[in-house]
Amino acid sequence: QVQLVESGGGLVQAGGSLRLTCVASGLTFSSYAMGWFRQAPGKEREFVAALSRSGGSTVYEDSVKGRFTISRDNAKNTVYLQMNSLRPGDTAVYYCAARRVYAEYAPPTTATGYAYWGQGTQVTVSS
């Protein structure tokens, strides 16, 4: 049973920071590319960031470049999203996702590229 469990969301003022954590189980974590997506009320699910199975390749949505950092600790089966300089537009439910890969490929940036999803964690940025 593959499980992805997100944590770390909450309410923060604009300009503040949060660190999201996703802990995976039921899979060989080091064989999966990992991604973060978000969905705001009334909007489509949006790509945020992703990284390759070793962490050697990362990609970011343009609006979060320079503010967010994705990383992973394969020894802990965990992926992180450090979010700095948060804006009200970052308010959304944030989801962790996993995709099985067979080499150190660049990670996918579309939701359809991922097979497993967590339940999400709410991030609210007040103005």
pLDDT in tens, 3-16: 999 999 999 999 99
Query: Tokens 């604009």 map to which residue?
Result: 14
pLDDT digits (tens, 9 = 90+) for 99-121: 999 998 999 999 999 999 999 99
* Nearest CA among 40, 17, 52, 19 for reference residue 89: 40
91 φ, ψ (degrees, to nearest 5): -60, 125
Q: How confident is the model at residue 127 (pLDDT cuts 50, 70, 90)?
A: very high
Mean pLDDT of 89-100: 98
